[in-house]
Amino acid sequence: MKIKDTETLMKTQFLNIKATQYEDTKGDEKFWVWVQRTGGRRAVVIAAVVDKGMIEIQPKVYQRDLRLVVTKEFRVPMVDYEYGFPAGLIDGEEDPVDAATRELKEETGLNVTRVLRKSPFIYNTAGMTDESIAMVYVECDGELSKEGLEASEEIDTFLMTPAEVQTLLEDDTKKFGAKAWMVMSNFVRYNEI
């Protein structure tokens, strides 16, 4: 495929609608309409656990007692609540780990204590948008708090055991963010994130 030209069809405060003219694999001229966050801003999504120490699950068999940080947030496009993870836009040149630390604090009150790993910037749905996010996997501690929330945010936070996450995933009245669903499934299967 050959990219020719991109024009902006519409600008709004947070999203710009773009049309890119291209030549498809047969040589036909086509347009692809897609969406860009204004300023090309990137985001972080935070997979976080609180480590409560070891528990004895059978006589003399111990495993880590981890709680996954799960958010329930009203999402206007869904006209519903989404079960997911803390997330937010990166400010300017902010490092993804710093953004994750800041957003976790703002949205839940929790403090990052250890960074387990992070992804590069990965693409949410590349047919529709060039939006990319970094997944940041952390351990955290502290008390849950809503003090850092903005008026546009309606977020509840839960600290959930693997069994509680499994029950939540089995509830077909609940809706989930895709990345959160995948980490939640891992947490149930492997007791880690």
Q: Which of positions 55-74 make contact with its own copies (CB under 8 A)?
A: 74
147 binds its own copies (CB under 8 A): no
- Nearer of residues 65 and 130 to its own copies, judged by Cβ: 130
d(CA 130, CA 122): 10
- Nearer of residues 111 and 164 to its own copies, judged by Cβ: 164
Q: Which has the closest alpha carbon to 133: 15, 43, 41, 39?
A: 43
> Near its own copies by CB under 8 A, which window of 52-60, 61-69, 95-103, 117-125?
117-125
> Near its own copies by CB under 8 A, which window of 57-65, 100-108, 121-129, 157-165?
121-129
Contact 10, 17 (CB under 8 A): yes
- One of 122, 141, 144, 167 touching its own copies (CB under 8 A): 122
d(CA 139, CA 136): 10
9 binds its own copies (CB under 8 A): yes
- One of 127, 143, 147, 163 touching its own copies (CB under 8 A): 127
> Near its own copies by CB under 8 A, which window of 21-29, 55-63, 98-106, 158-166?
21-29
Q: Which has the closest alpha carbon to 176: 49, 88, 72, 42?
A: 72
Phi and psi, residue 16, nearest 5°: -115, 140
DSSP state letter for 34: E
| Binding track, positions 152-181, relative to its own copies; x by CB under 8 A | xxx-----------------x--xxxxx-x
130 binds its own copies (CB under 8 A): yes
d(CA 101, CA 113): 9
Contact 66, 51 (CB under 8 A): yes
Contact 98, 59 (CB under 8 A): no
d(CA 6, CA 34): 10
Question: What does the binding site for its own copies look like in residue numbers (CB under 8 A)?
Answer: 1, 3, 9-10, 12-15, 17-20, 22, 24-26, 28, 30, 32-37, 74-79, 82, 84, 119-133, 135, 149, 151-154, 172, 175-179, 181-183, 185-186, 190
